[in-house]
Structure 1
Amino acid sequence: MKGIQLLLVILMLPLLAWAQKSVNASEIIAKISRGEAVSYKNAVIVGDLDMTKLQNMKQDKNSNSASKEYTSTVKAPLTFVDCIFKGDVLAYFNPENSGFLNTSGNEMYKTNFEGDVVFENCTFEEAAAFKYSAFDGKVSFMSSRFAEEALFKYADFEKGVNFSNVRFGGDANFKYVEFPERVSFAGATFKEEANFKYTEFERGVNFEKASFDGTANFKYAEISDSFNVKGARFNGGDDFKYTQLNNRQVSLTALREMNR
């Protein structure tokens, strides 16, 4: 019996090693800079995955001597499944807001994505910033977990977006975002503020069975088609002032009635 158990352990060692594979973030950045498709599963990403200063980084034309903006572009698809990110995941960086000494004036770095972006069942242990990013392909963060703020303010999505079953441990910042396709936050958990102020949902949004433990901020949000809050729990405060559904002002109470 002991011999069989030992044999099983030996046979499982390669699988265990693969499941716990560690990858340096610098290795991934090198692939992205070369324009290669990136795909990882069951990996621990060590170090900051900083995509704001790729080889193709360019200074934006509207930049001036007082304010410089730089854009990097991820050309190929990104796929991360069942991965843990030990450091920051950055598609946006502003030295003035980071605590670093900035001697060259006001600078801002952002990253755009031309292919599909998939972070499914992943854990972000540190910062995750996609502010101002443009996503040309499909985007999925399904079943992922953010320990800190999930920063998507001003992000530009062109196709379908999936944030279903995501756990937002810090603020979920989607302020000023426009969703041209239907987006799902079904089953998502918002532990802190869910900020959808001024957000536009052009083809509806699904918050079915979502849990809002912090403030649910939908002030000035505009929703077309449908606003599904069936089974959603609003345990914190909520702000639906000036929220519009199909060009008519709507309250949380009215939404609950609609979704019975």
Structure 2
Amino acid sequence: MTFLNCIFMGKVITNGMQSQRQVRVHFGSNLTFEACDFRADADFDNITVDGMVNFTGAIFRERALFNNVTFNGRHNYFTAFSSEKYFSMQESLIDGAIDFFKAKTRGRLSFQSTEFRGIARFHNLDCDGRSEFSLSRFRDDALFTYANFTGHFNFSDAIVYGRFDMNNVELQSSAAITSTIFYRPVTFEKTSVKGEFDVSRSVFYSGKPAMLEFRTLKPDDFVSQGTKFVLLNDLNAD
């Protein structure tokens, strides 16, 4: 199903109730809403898509809801989309790679409890509200290079099995990366934080993160109580 440069004046809803039974939509191939303008709520909750998902350049004027979705395709694109109110992709399963390059959000952004099985790219993401990644699972790399977060950044109780790149990131407020497990190398190089940067109780299994030119306003803004830096090779040594 493909929509290009379309304007949707009313709500777009892909789920509901019929005869007291919940109705969910399953797309057996690709789903494209490229450069579409959603003037009211865009509610794609609970959908399953077997092919590629493409919302490149989409504009969400009201709420953009992708909660409990399942994307089975190898590639998914939310490149350069903009959300003016609230963008939520919580408790979802993304089986392939997903790209949010140059996306812009003005309200809250949430990926709480979502599982990413392919590479998740958030390069140059510009988030003007609170961002929520708590309880998320990244089976591959999680890449945030050159992203900007104006509100609080929450990455607590998450697990990242691939690389975690957060270099050249601007954090205009505080960041909580607490009780999170990182299995591969982590980098915070050239990242700037205006508030508290808390990695307490997190575990880094590839040793200490790369932090060249990492900046906070005050030395005690970097909090690492109970944080563990471990090398897996050391654990496997005789």
- TM-score interval (norm. to shorter): 0.7 to 0.9
SS at match of 1:120: coil
| Distance (Å, rounded) in 2 between the aligned partners of 1:51 and 1:75 | 15
CA distance in 1, matches of 2:213, 2:37: 44
Q: Is there any run of 5+ residues in structure 1 with no aligned partner, and where?
A: 1-18, 53-70, 93-109
The DSSP-based 3-state class of the residue aligned with 2:32 is strand
- Say yes or no: does 1:41 pair with 2:41: no
Q: Partners of 1:225 and 1:111 in 2: how far apart?
A: 27
Matched, 1:123 2:108: no
RMSD over equivalenced CA pairs, Å: 2.6
- The equivalent of 1:189 in structure 2 is 148
Distance (Å, rounded) in 1 between the aligned partners of 2:71 and 2:65 = 13
What is the match of residue 241 of structure 1? 200
Note closer, same or farther for the CA distance 1:34–1:131 as it changes in structure 2 (3 Å cut). Answer: closer
Q: Residues 115 and 137 of structure 2 are in contact (CA less than 8 Å); yes or no, is this contact kept in structure 1? A: yes
2:97 is the counterpart of 1:138: yes
Larger relative helix fraction? 1
CA contact (8 A) 2:180 2:201 kept: yes
Instruction: Map 1:153-168 onto structure 2 (within 5 A).
Output: 153-168=112-127
The count of corresponding residues between Structure 1 and Structure 2 is 201
Q: Which has the larger radius of gyration?
A: 1
- Does the CA-based 8 Å contact 2:6-2:37 persist in structure 1? yes
- Paired with 2:213 and 2:39, the residues of 1 have a C-alpha distance of 46
Kept in 2, the 8 Å contact 1:141–1:163? The answer is yes
The 2-side partners of 1:44 and 1:143 are apart by 17
Mapped partners of 2:27, 2:137: distance in 1:
30
Paired residue type of 1:80: F
TM-score by length of 1: 0.69
Identity of aligned residues (%): 16
Q: How far apart are the structure 2 equivalents of 1:91 and 1:83?
A: 14
Q: Is residue 43 of structure 2 the alignment partner of residue 50 of structure 1? A: yes
Q: What is the distance in 2 between the residues matched to 1:212 and 1:113?
A: 29
Distance in 2, matches of 1:226 and 1:138, equals 19
Name stretches of at least 5 consecutive residues in structure 2 with no aligned partner.
16-24, 215-238
Q: Give the secondary structure class of the aligned counterpart of 2:55.
A: strand
- Aligned partner of 1:22 in structure 2 is 7
- Secondary structure at the aligned position of 1:128 is classed as strand
1:99-146 Cα deviation digits (max 9, x unpaired): xxxxxxxxxxx3222223211011011221111001112111111011
Alignment partners' CA distance in 1, 2:102 and 2:200: 30
Post-superposition shift, 1:35?
Answer: 4.0
Distance 2:14 2:30 in 1: 11
Residue 69 of structure 2 corresponds to 111
- Note the C-alpha offset of 1:45: 2.1
Question: Which whole-Å CA distance do the structure 2 matches of 1:173 and 1:217 have between them?
Answer: 10
Describe the shift of the 1:206–1:220 C-alpha distance in structure 2 as closer, same or farther (beyond 3 A): same
1:173-195 CA-partner distances (Å, limit 9, x unpaired): 11011111111100001111111
Find the aligned partners of 2:163 and 2:10 in 1 and give their Cα distance.
36
SS of residue matched to 2:211: helix
The separation in 1 between residues aligned to 2:137 and 2:178, in whole angstroms, is: 15
Give the distance between the partners of 1:27 and 1:155, measured in 2 at CA: 22
Residue type of the alignment partner of 1:237: E
In structure 2, distance between residues paired with 1:231 and 1:34: 42
1:46 CA drift (Å) = 2.5
- C-alpha distance in 1 between matches for 2:168 and 2:95: 29
Distance in 2 (CA, whole Å) between partners of 1:239 and 1:124 is: 28
